[in-house]
Amino acid sequence: MQAKLFGSRISPFVEKVARALQLKRVPFTLVAPRSPADFKRWNPQTRKMPAVEIGAQRLFDSTLILRRLDQLVPEPPFLDRDAAVAARQRFLEDWSDESLYWYAMALRWSDANTEATTTQVVGSISVPAALRPVLKVILRRQIRGQARAQGLARLPLETIVDELGRRFDELLVWLGDRPYFFADRPSVADLALFGQLNALQSGPTPQAERLVAERPHLADYFLRVDTATAERRAESDRPAARGVDLGGAAERCLGQLGRLTPRRPAVHSSTTRRAVRKASSASSREMSASASVSVSSSP
Ligand SMILES: N[C@@H](CCC(=O)N[C@@H](CS)C(=O)NCC(=O)O)C(=O)O
C-alpha cells in the first residue's frame, strides 16, 4: 500500500497524519501545496490540509483519515482494545485537535510572535520575492483573523502562556507513569498531541518551548512518541551512529543540513535545540532562495 499526503508538515494535522502513516509503515509521498487554491482542489469539502490519497480513495480531516487508515491497516491498532481506554484516547485526540490547537494559534499570532510566524509561513511558500510583502499582509490579516475570531488570542499573552502551562500539567497528571496516554503503545491521542507539540516547538513560539523545557517529563514523552513514530528507513539509509539518540524529529532535522527538506521540526533539549535551530535557519534561508520547494499555509 502507498499513500499521497497533501499538505505541509508545518501544519500539526499534516504532521499527525505523517506520523500515523509512519507508525503503520505505509510509505507515502508528501505533496506540498503551491498556492491556497491547492487546498480547494485537493479537499473541496473543507478546503483544509491534510488530505490523503490511498488507492482510489481521497480522504480529508486528520481524524477521519486516521480512522480509515486503522481499518485498512489494523496493526498496530490506533486505539486500545479496551473500549473505556479507547474512549479516553479518542477524547484526547479531539481535545488536542479542537482545543490545544487554538492555544498554539493564539501564541503564534500574538503580537510578540506574529512577525516570526509570518516569516516562517511566508518563507515556506514558493512565491517571487516581490510578492512576499503583499503575502505577509494577507496572511497576517487572514490567519491571525481566524485566531482572534476563535477568541483565545484576545487574551493577554501572559494569560495564554499561563493557561497552556496548566494544560500541560493536567496532561502530565493523566499521563502518569505510562509511556503513552492511558496505554503502553501510541494511539490517536499521542499522534494528535505530537502534531501540536511539534508545531509549538517549531520556532515562532519560544514561550511554548520554554513551557516544555520546564517539564522534563513532557519533553521525554514528546521524544518517546517521536522515536516510536519515526520514519523507518532502510539500514543503508541511516546516518552514522551517534552517541546520543536525538529521536526521529531532531535526527531528521540535523539531516536537513545537507538535504533541504521543507520542514523545521521541533527540538527538545536545549543542546539539540541550538544545533537544530542553526541547521533549520540555514535550511529555511536556502529554501527561500532556491524556491524549489513550495509549501503553503497556515498553522
Ligand atoms: N480538523 C482538521 C483541521 C485541519 C486544519 O485546520 N488545517 C489548517 C492548517 S493547520 C488549514 O488547512 N487551514 C487553512 C484554512 O483554514 O483555510 C483536521 O484535523 O484535519
Q: Are 117 and 109 in contact (CB under 8 A)?
A: yes
**Ligand 1: does its nearest atom lie under 6 Å from the Cβ of 33?**
no
Helix (H), strand (E), coil (C) string for 106-165: HHHCCCCCHHHHHHHHHHCCCCCHHHHHHHHHHHHHHHHHHHHHHCHHHCCHHHHHHHHH
The residue whose CB lies within 8 Å of the most ligand 1 atoms, and thus the one to mutate among 8, 15, 46, 49, is 49
CA distance 246 to 254: 9
Band of residue 235 on the pLDDT scale cut at 50, 70, 90: low
User: Measuring from atom 11 of ligand 1, which residue has the nearest CA?
Assistant: 48
- Phi and psi based region of residue 55 (left: phi greater than 0; alpha: psi -120 to 50; beta: remaining): left
CA distance 212 to 214: 5
Residue 18: CB partners within 8 Å, gap ≥ 6? Answer: 5, 9, 28, 30
Tens-place pLDDT, residues 45-80: 999 999 999 989 999 999 999 999 999 999 999 999
Type and span of the H or E element at 258: helix 247-259
- What pTM did the predictor assign? 0.82
**Ligand 1: does its nearest atom lie under 6 Å from the Cβ of 15?**
no
Nearest ligand 1 atom to alpha carbon 17: 20
| Per-residue model confidence (pLDDT) at position 99 | 98
Q: What is the CA angle 41-46-49, rounded to 5?
A: 70
| Per-residue model confidence (pLDDT) at position 43 | 93
CA distance 32 to 296: 7
Query: What percent of the chain has pLDDT above 70?
Result: 78
| Per-residue model confidence (pLDDT) at position 83 | 98
Residue 112: CB partners within 8 Å, gap ≥ 6? Answer: 157, 207
Quote the cell numbers at residue 115.
512577525
User: Measuring from atom 14 of ligand 1, which residue has the nearest CA?
Assistant: 48
CA distance 274 to 246: 13
DSSP string, 179-234: SBTTBSS--HHHHHHHHHHHHHTSSS-HHHHHHHHT-HHHHHHHHHHHHHTS----
| Per-residue model confidence (pLDDT) at position 132 | 84
**Ligand 1: does its nearest atom lie under 6 Å from the Cβ of 297?**
yes
Tens-place pLDDT, residues 256-290: 222 222 233 443 333 334 333 433 333 333 222 22
CA distance 247 to 154: 36
**Ligand 1: does its nearest atom lie under 6 Å from the Cβ of 49?**
yes
Q: Are 102 and 95 in contact (CB under 8 A)?
A: no
- State in Å: Cα 107 to ligand 1 middle: 17
- State in Å: Cα 54 to ligand 1 middle: 20
Q: Domains of the chain (ranges plus CATH)?
A: 3-72 (3.40.30.10), 83-234+241-290 (1.20.1050.10)
Looking at the chain, how many residues does it have? 299
CA distance 297 to 36: 7
Band of residue 129 on the pLDDT scale cut at 50, 70, 90: confident
**Ligand 1: does its nearest atom lie under 6 Å from the Cβ of 48?**
yes
